[in-house]
Amino acid sequence: MPLLHYLDQGDPSARSLVILHGLFGTLDNWQTLARRWAEEAGLRVVSVDMRNHGRSFHSPEHSYALMAQDVLALFDHLALDPSRLTLLGHSMGGKVAMTLALGYPERLAQLIVADIAPRFSNMEHQDDIIAGLQAVDLSAIQTRQQAEAALARTIPQPGVRQFLLKNLYRREDNSFAWRINLPALVENLAAVGEEITAAQPFIKPTLFLRGGKSDYITPEDKLTGIPVLFPNSQVVTVPDAGHWLHAEKPEEVFGLVKNFVLM
């Protein structure tokens, strides 16, 4: 399997922080914070494009088991020291991070999960986004504004449209294309909603960050779902943040992650 595309920043001998983005995202979504954690917190920060996203390879297969293996291969390639490695994942990336931590606890020192719980999701909240992406006729559009207008028919939030448009790029022949492998992601959407389970809990330090205005981590998750699998965990709420808490409250997320990694 090809290696995931990644960006490696900061002091190679420092503690490492590996960042996994969410569905339809790219490593660019975390770039501002990644640079700050490298420059201001003194960390080695590795931001990753997951399979079927960004500049990483496309595959018809898209599951948490496979994505965890992709990340483990990157750990090997970079020879990251497990005793000094923190894995951070947001949303889909958070479920990849949980899968890896539960299956291979010896490969990392601690875990950060941003605004996702291990429980099952029916993924219905993605229906409008998928409808919007599929409504963009890539063969007909000539400008990014035309693409945004197509998205706007089903996606009213400007911020979500701008997030999705980061996936749009011009090919050498000047036509537009998506960096995401949209057919594969649509085909495997149910797998993205799957519950994360394990025979044994992950007992190393774990930080769950939840957006105060997001419902991706519920009170029930905090009481039962999370502590069963992650008994050595804390759930910290970022006030006034939605699901994209790193974009909405970067200062708070910067400090919480820095303090947890360096504690």
The answer to whether the beta carbons of residues 36 and 251 sit under 8 Å apart is no
Tell whether the model's pLDDT for residue 1 goes beyond 80: no
pLDDT tens, residue by residue, 159-175: 999 999 999 999 999 99
Model confidence pTM above 0.85: yes
42 — pLDDT class (breaks 50, 70, 90): very high
pLDDT tens, residue by residue, 3-25: 999 999 999 999 999 999 999 99
Residue 213: per-residue pLDDT: 96
* Averaged pLDDT of the chain: 96
pLDDT tens, residue by residue, 96-120: 999 999 999 999 999 999 999 999 9
- The residues carrying an active-site annotation are 91, 243
Residue carrying the six token digits 């000094």: 84
The answer to whether the beta carbons of residues 116 and 216 sit under 8 Å apart is yes
Q: How many CA atoms lie within 13 A of 215 on its CB side?
A: 2
Residue carrying the six token digits 């537009």: 176
Give the closest residue to 94 by CA, choosing from 226, 204, 6.
226
Tell me the average pLDDT across 151-162: 93
DSSP code for 183: H
Contacts of residue 50, defined as CB under 8 A and 6 or more positions apart, other chains included, come to 4, 20, 21, 56, 67, 70, 92, 93, 96
Residue 140: per-residue pLDDT: 94
Tell me the average pLDDT across 219-223: 95
